[in-house]
Chain A
């Protein structure tokens, strides 16, 4: 059960729409994004379902999912969406909300030295842009 009030949920939805610049309610749940998603198999909640949860106001549940971090931001979903909803931007908005609330996926001091050594610099920079 949600611990938030109706107004709080509504303002969270608004915030996601504001950050992403996308309307969540344009999505008619055809699933085309998920059909062609390269990472969908790894996600605990399928991409189209992430939008569905937001439409239903289950924002907390959506934020608890790992899907947003698994999203590769390849934009294939955006290219194919018949309703022109940019799901990649919505995923980004969810990440941004987590990061702003101080819940990034990774902290720089916790990254293994070996990873830093082996990872190309560009990878490290873009990784931190996305996950921190």
Chain B
């Protein structure tokens, strides 16, 4: 019989007010196998840990049970304490008598009985515990950053500066993301390009950064420290190596088409670069619009190109890269206006969204910064801004706050008033959420200095009457219905994750929430890590946020990567599946069930009498295995077993609870 110690934690009043901790430790003292049992006010405190260490050494304990909070909180604390006392850390088990007992019950007597039962079950588990040892796994010190917006660029630059190679993949032909489209930024009103272009230029020339624009990650395999990814490089139809960026092709191309970059506010040529400061400054042919691709004639670009770099026959190709860590910075989009039936469902040209307003307010935009309405190019005399368009709206399945709209709407109204002094800017808001350095002051400036009219209430409808847009709203502070004739309506539409985020999540095996934003490992303590080891998150891919917050988070994600790369090898969790080859029948039922693709068939040689026979069995990749245990459930012969949660341990626990 092993010598087992039991420690019952009071957690101040958290546990002791609902569970009789004294009674629990007393009762455990008489339980078979328990050599020592006691209770203590705060086991996680320094003296508490010292008590555990001393007791292990003095009593030569061979296993301990700590009945305390969730193992998510302090399992590592107590395991480290045990290790310091010379006990293998995997002989320490936690009974959760806080989240699963004291916090969810009110009857002290019953809760105490439950706590004692649970502790006894854990004692039985510890009796079957074995020494486990972490393994060293190799590490590829190269990071893949997905998304070339401000968050992806920040991560790339930080990691590259630390001396590690970076691959930056961006689906658009140029980097800069949404920030490159912005006019000016709150709360300082400095132009977005002025602060962004030094970054894009640095990314473009950094020797540690390999830039792959117009590319997408299509496949990912491997594990923490050792991923293999396949990147699809879409054709640009221009040899970017040869191209000198003279843009004669763009100048002479006869075909004008809608520009994605301008969000429908401006046109571009069929061969063009999105904007003057684009990095890389290289053109791309829009296959769907190009006259040559449609009719087989034209080739104007080929004629004018001085270096002969147009390649109509270019095909997409897939490149494979070995990397150690992945940072997902896939950014955001805006809820399509078509989802907002009450605001015209995208049928009125002069009802635009925030990003479209950014383009017409941007100096490098289609109107060169003069705010003109899209329908007839007139300068609007009255603009209505509608906040929370789709956000905080259960009906539109977006109950969350998009966070940035309050601030950018104030900025939009201000930019407009700075251009059209006698114009009217009206903002419909529900709450002004201006938490941030200088943010509240910025909104007050819009109200006090620029006389932007803020009305508290939602808008019911936007419709056209006699060729004019009519906004029907309310001011709940005066209880008055409000009817405004507007020349231009700007909707602060909800921030939603990038369209491709869901597929990307599936490719990388990273979970998303109900709205498609990537899930962090812990909402407070691990905000830049995903649940998949080695995959980190940055920027709006995780949740809506503004530029300063994005940059902070991206720097945090970069720090995580750099910390990981500062070691020469990685240590894997030994609590993974293992195969008993003697009884494995090689049916491989486990292979398709494994969510991490950690199981593969292997042929082994077995001696039967005097002959040696070849037999198929399952084998585990210990780096890939995350210890979920699905394989051991599926295994018919009982050959698959999860170390630290073995079938024997679980059965013993159940016996203690149920028999």
Q: Which residues of A contact B (CB under 8 A)?
A: 28-37, 40-41, 46, 48-49, 76, 80-84
Given A30-B457, A30-B458, does the pair A36, B472 have CB atoms closer than 8 Å?
yes
Given A35-B460, A35-B481, A36-B461, does the pair A82, B392 have CB atoms closer than 8 Å?
yes
User: Of B42-50, B60-68, B261-269, B393-401, which binds chain A?
Assistant: B393-401
* B393 adjacent to A34 (CB under 8 Å): no
* B482 adjacent to A30 (CB under 8 Å): no
Which B436-479 residues sit within 8 Å CB-CB of chain A?
Answer: 456-461, 472-476, 479
Which chain A residues lie closer than 8 Å to B473 at the CB level? 31, 35
Which chain A residues lie closer than 8 Å to B460 at the CB level? 32-33, 35-37, 76, 80
Whole-angstrom CA separation of A56 from B159 in the bound complex: 55
1/0 contact string of B360-400 vs chain A (CB within 8 Å): 00000000000000000000000000001000111110000
* B461 adjacent to A34 (CB under 8 Å): no
* A82 adjacent to B396 (CB under 8 Å): yes
Closest-by-CB residue of B relative to A83 is: B394
Whole-angstrom CA separation of A29 from B456 in the bound complex: 10
* B392 adjacent to A35 (CB under 8 Å): no
Which chain B residues lie closer than 8 Å to A29 at the CB level? 476
* B476 adjacent to A34 (CB under 8 Å): yes
Which chain B residues lie closer than 8 Å to A37 at the CB level? 460, 481
Does B430 belong to the interface (CB within 8 Å)?
Answer: yes
* A49 adjacent to B394 (CB under 8 Å): no
Query: How many residues of chain B are within 8 Å of chain A by beta carbon?
Result: 22
* 13 A-B residue pairs with CB within 8 Å: A28-B392, A30-B430, A31-B475, A35-B458, A35-B473, A40-B481, A48-B474, A49-B479, A80-B342, A80-B460, A82-B395, A82-B396, A82-B458
Closest-by-CB residue of B relative to A40 is: B481
Whole-angstrom CA separation of A1 from B457 in the bound complex: 29
Whole-angstrom CA separation of A46 from B473 in the bound complex: 13
Interface centre among B457, B461, B476, B482 (most CB of A within 10 A): B476
Which chain A residues lie closer than 8 Å to B459 at the CB level? 32, 35
* B457 adjacent to A34 (CB under 8 Å): yes
* A31 adjacent to B458 (CB under 8 Å): yes
Closest-by-CB residue of A relative to B429 is: A30
Q: A32-B457, A34-B457, A35-B457 are in contact. List 19 more A-B contacts (CB 8 A).
A: A28-B430, A29-B476, A30-B388, A30-B458, A31-B457, A31-B473, A34-B479, A34-B481, A35-B459, A35-B481, A35-B482, A36-B460, A40-B481, A80-B342, A81-B395, A82-B394, A83-B394, A83-B395, A84-B394
* B474 adjacent to A35 (CB under 8 Å): yes
Whole-angstrom CA separation of A31 from B394 in the bound complex: 15
Which chain A residues lie closer than 8 Å to B476 at the CB level? 29-31, 34, 46, 48
Whole-angstrom CA separation of A81 from B395 in the bound complex: 7
Which chain A residues lie closer than 8 Å to B430 at the CB level? 28, 30
Whole-angstrom CA separation of A35 from B458 in the bound complex: 7
A67 to chain B, nearest CB (A): 12
1/0 contact string of B336-355 vs chain A (CB within 8 Å): 00000010000000000000
Which chain B residues lie closer than 8 Å to A31 at the CB level? 456-458, 473-476
B646 to chain A, nearest CB (A): 48
Residue pairs across A and B with CB atoms within 8 Å: the count is 65
Which chain A residues lie closer than 8 Å to B458 at the CB level? 30-32, 35, 82
Interface centre among B458, B472, B473, B482 (most CB of A within 10 A): B458
Which chain A residues lie closer than 8 Å to B461 at the CB level? 35-36
Interface centre among A35, A48, A76, A81 (most CB of B within 10 A): A35
Which 10 A-B pairs rank lowest in CB-CB distance, beginning with the nearest?
A36-B460, A31-B457, A32-B458, A35-B460, A35-B474, A82-B393, A31-B476, A31-B474, A30-B458, A46-B479
* B395 adjacent to A32 (CB under 8 Å): no
A12 to chain B, nearest CB (A): 24
* B393 adjacent to A35 (CB under 8 Å): no
Given A29-B476, A82-B458, does the pair A41, B481 have CB atoms closer than 8 Å?
yes
Closest-by-CB residue of B relative to A36 is: B460
Whole-angstrom CA separation of A30 from B396 in the bound complex: 15
B473 to chain A, nearest CB (A): 5
Whole-angstrom CA separation of A76 from B458 in the bound complex: 14
Whole-angstrom CA separation of A47 from B10 in the bound complex: 52
A41 to chain B, nearest CB (A): 7
Closest-by-CB residue of B relative to A76 is: B460
Which B321-348 residues sit within 8 Å CB-CB of chain A?
Answer: 342
A5 to chain B, nearest CB (A): 28
Which chain A residues lie closer than 8 Å to B475 at the CB level? 31
Whole-angstrom CA separation of A49 from B430 in the bound complex: 15
Residue from B395, B457, B479, B482 within 8 A of A84 (CB atoms): B395
Whole-angstrom CA separation of A82 from B339 in the bound complex: 13
Closest-by-CB residue of A relative to B431 is: A28
1/0 contact string of B583-600 vs chain A (CB within 8 Å): 000000000000000000
* A34 adjacent to B474 (CB under 8 Å): yes
Which chain B residues lie closer than 8 Å to A46 at the CB level? 474, 476, 479
Interface centre among A34, A37, A83 (most CB of B within 10 A): A34
Whole-angstrom CA separation of A31 from B479 in the bound complex: 9
Whole-angstrom CA separation of A84 from B458 in the bound complex: 14
B493 to chain A, nearest CB (A): 14
Whole-angstrom CA separation of A6 from B475 in the bound complex: 31
Whole-angstrom CA separation of A109 from B522 in the bound complex: 68
1/0 contact string of B480-521 vs chain A (CB within 8 Å): 011000000000000000000000000000000000000000
Interface centre among A37, A41, A76, A82 (most CB of B within 10 A): A82
Whole-angstrom CA separation of A62 from B395 in the bound complex: 27
A39 to chain B, nearest CB (A): 11
Which chain B residues lie closer than 8 Å to A33 at the CB level? 460
Whole-angstrom CA separation of A67 from B475 in the bound complex: 18
A82 to chain B, nearest CB (A): 4
* B474 adjacent to A32 (CB under 8 Å): yes
Which chain B residues lie closer than 8 Å to A40 at the CB level? 481
Which chain B residues lie closer than 8 Å to A80 at the CB level? 342, 460
Which B398-445 residues sit within 8 Å CB-CB of chain A?
Answer: 430
Whole-angstrom CA separation of A2 from B460 in the bound complex: 34
Which chain A residues lie closer than 8 Å to B342 at the CB level? 36, 80
